[in-house]
């Protein structure tokens, strides 16, 4: 149960930071993707280290890349 809760907290932290990063990037006249990337760097293990469940986050990151490539065409 604690593992699922920590995964949910990590996902909320990632999604919240990504939303704030994309908003800030748009306000600065930059693409939202730049905000997403900077947010990921900030909360990831190489940044502040907020996210603890690296295995699950890696899975979602790979799926995000797949969806991004599908969206690009």
pLDDT in tens, the chain (73 residues): 567 787 888 888 888 998 999 999 999 999 998 998 898 888 887 888 787 767 777 888 888 889 989 988 7
What is the Cα–Cα distance from 34 to 68, expressed in whole angstroms? Answer: 14
DSSP 8-state symbol, 44: S
Domain enclosing residue 48, as ranges = 2-72
How many distinct structural domains can be found in the chain? 1
What is the Cα–Cα distance from 73 to 67, expressed in whole angstroms? Answer: 10
């Amino acid at each position: 149960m604690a593992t699922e809760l920590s995964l949910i907290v990590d996902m909320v932290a990632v999604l919240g930071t990504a939303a704030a990063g994309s908003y800030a990037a748009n306000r600065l006249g930059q693409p939202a993707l730049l905000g997403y990337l900077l947010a990921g760097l900030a909360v990831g293990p190489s940044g502040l280290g907020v996210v603890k469940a690296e295995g699950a986050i890696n899975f979602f990151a790979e799926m995000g890349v797949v969806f991004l490539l599908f969206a690009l065409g």
